[in-house]
Chain A
């Protein structure tokens, strides 16, 4: 925060500084881009959506009378004659967390106005996300092939299928939307829209490298949510 300078305003550290910013005029979060503040608040709202899903899942799992299937068996893969529990999920999680790393680097290179590195890293993030969605589709296909449906489940409680498809589907939709935007932003970076401040197609807002950071916030959030889904579905 110390690198932001505002004419006629001196920042104070710590809680006093927060109180001063809150009580000041014009802005509460000094030097924070409108879009960035918006994304934070949107993510707070989205957190409530995922919390409702996960709490419903806990309630559903806690109150069902039929046994919940053993996740390490259901989600296990049979490779080279060995049963490996949670193999696919481990790879998926690794890919998604790695894509968070490339995203963070893209933001850094974006602020350095390094168009090429920024673009390639966004593209790498997009491909990571796409790989994740692809593997999730594979997992869905495998479970459907084994007879798991939203309304029934050969391994135990039917609610397992319902919650699994709904929550991973909702998360996968988030990832897919992120991937679409990552591809668009990669194009815009390479085309130099952020350097020259070209106006957006719909919003007619001038392009700026801060947009990459905003998309980055979304992407890290989607990763963080996956960590929770991973813990609640695969490790519980």
Chain B
């Protein structure tokens, strides 16, 4: 890399690490950056309403489309969770909550939140909007494919929601869709419901593959001049690595869904063992239900990191900007993201400790699982060290960041409990597990999404969100989420099993009933608090305080577009040229407390800026 930049010689002549001294080092080729390798991207500019806003090929519009549709689906998931909590906290209060409906709502809530909400929102929403802007591209490299990607997602959501209206309703087999019960009579939605679920997942994977190829090639092959991989904001690193995981993990889900559809429709026995039902042997026989579990979790565990890695990346950028400090250990952060991504393919069977596996197999997976704690802990330390002695702006964005760190550490620590086989076995299938994964991959990434919305809304709309409403939103969500999930750890310890429709007269009743009521009330409040954000967005879209250019004084490229919000093509006449990383905050000697990525070295010769 060092040979690429002629200015390197000048710098080495002065000192090995920093440029210092009073301007004597300015030479004409100091700002030299290699000319562009590829010509201008050939963009299709829409003119009608349909080509500009509906079947649009602009990654920013596609990003917003993804965001809105994922949010809509997420609100359905939220309403389903309300209904579940209604039943758990106050059994019998709502007469329509039968056991069948309860299982259907559990299943749809899980699948919607993990795949159709978080994955689509982080990769489809933030990925599409931010990647081209952050790497200095005019658009995604295949805009047409990108558009098809969104509309495949649209159809996938349509098929998923259609299952509410088919005979038998949506599938009620739990979000893991384990066979044999997923397709056996007696499970709600065992005919149509599970079929539509599988079709919807296959459509989602196909659509995601189209989008994913776009994200990867844009990052690898379409960066602007001067933008090396190690100068990219961590947001791009997180989304990039998550996309790699998705490209390699979703195939297993696709194959599992396809084989399950064939078991269901054609009567094959990939996953179906010999089954006795009411004294009669069913047609099925000879298949392996464990095979499905392996396929599902080979997708399912990387999926956790598909959600978490973009969150890690985004939070790093938000913390750095709002603490006015460079991110601590940038390269360590990058390698931690890549390392977590690679490790995530070797841990899947820790979801299957109780499937009757060989203890040595469990031992192996416990070891790999605990190794993941190392890069993850590195990231947490680095976030805290970034905050340390920073010039912290305690605004809504920073509150969400702090909330994320606390929540993520909390969920991570319970993960260490569950990663050990001997501790996991008694805790498996209890509310402890529910509390763990909601903390670590539900609430924590959600906090990042909220922080990111408050952070980038000024870029997307040109206006600030209301801070006062934002703080109400944060505190209600943060305290409320802890009121929901903290007691659940206790419920898990006393042995309350998950996925039970009602506890009836079990011995847990005395201590669990009151707690369940409390959790339910908290859940209603937290759910309702999310509508503060929607109100905030609608309110400030027209009347909010205008943000103008680079309102947070950030360094990264997305804030440096000629117009706010950025137009199609992003950069006007000339692409930006990058001279440094995205984290030059509070550089000693600099005029302002930030140096943008496009500031050439000759303008900052009086400062102690590091060579990046």
Interface set of A (CB-CB < 8 Å, partner B): 6-10, 20, 22-32, 34-35, 37-38, 41-42, 44-46, 48-49, 51-53, 56, 59-60, 63-66, 150-151, 157-159, 161-163, 166, 170, 202-206
Contacts and interface: CB of A to CB of B under 8 A. Distances in A.
A37 B220 contact: yes
A52 B252 contact: yes
A151 B266 contact: yes
B288 interface: yes
A27 B269 contact: no
B36 A26 contact: yes
A60 B254 CA distance: 18
Interface stretch (B19-27, B221-229, B415-423, B510-518): B221-229
Given A9-B34, A26-B224, A151-B268, A38 B217 contact: yes
B209 A45 contact: yes
A20 B288 CA distance: 48
B248 A150 contact: no
Nearest to A28: B220
A166 B254 CA distance: 13
B213 to A, nearest CB: 5
Contacts of A56: 255, 259, 270, 291, 295
13 contacts: A7-B34, A23-B229, A27-B221, A38-B141, A45-B247, A52-B252, A56-B295, A60-B270, A60-B291, A64-B286, A163-B270, A166-B259, A203-B145
Nearest to A163: B270
Interface in B333-362: none
Given A150-B267, A151-B269, A30 B37 contact: yes
A25 B35 contact: no
Contacts of A66: 286
Interface string B174-212: 000000000000000000000000000000000001001
Contact of A159 (B216, B223, B287): B287
Interface string B109-147: 000000000000000000000000000000001101100
B460 to A, nearest CB: 26
Interface in B29-80: 33-38, 42, 44
Contacts of A27: 37-38, 220-223
B548 interface: no
B262 interface: yes
A161 B287 CA distance: 13
B227 A25 contact: yes
B3 interface: yes
A213 to B, nearest CB: 16
Interface in B240-289: 247-248, 250-252, 254-256, 258-259, 262, 266-270, 283, 285-288
Contacts of B573: none
B291 A59 contact: yes
Interface residues of B, number: 57
B221 A29 contact: yes
Contacts of B220: 27-29, 37
B248 A48 contact: yes
B366 interface: no
Given A29-B220, A49-B255, A159-B269, A24 B4 contact: yes
B15 to A, nearest CB: 22
Interface string B362-375: 00000000000000
B62 to A, nearest CB: 15
A202 B146 CA distance: 13
B509 interface: no
Given A45-B209, A151-B283, A205-B144, 17 more contacts: A9-B4, A25-B33, A25-B34, A26-B222, A26-B223, A26-B225, A28-B220, A34-B221, A41-B213, A45-B251, A52-B256, A150-B262, A151-B266, A158-B269, A163-B270, A166-B259, A203-B142
A58 to B, nearest CB: 10
Interface string B159-180: 0000000000000000000000
Contacts of B291: 56, 59-60
A166 B262 contact: yes
Contacts of A53: 255
B287 A60 contact: yes
Contacts of A24: 1, 4, 228
A20 B1 contact: yes
B538 interface: no
Contact of B213 (A23, A26, A38, A65): A38
Contacts of B560: none
Contacts of B230: 23
Contacts of A157: 286
B252 A48 contact: yes
Given A24-B228, A32-B221, A158 B262 contact: no
Given A22-B229, A44-B248, A45-B247, A159 B213 contact: no
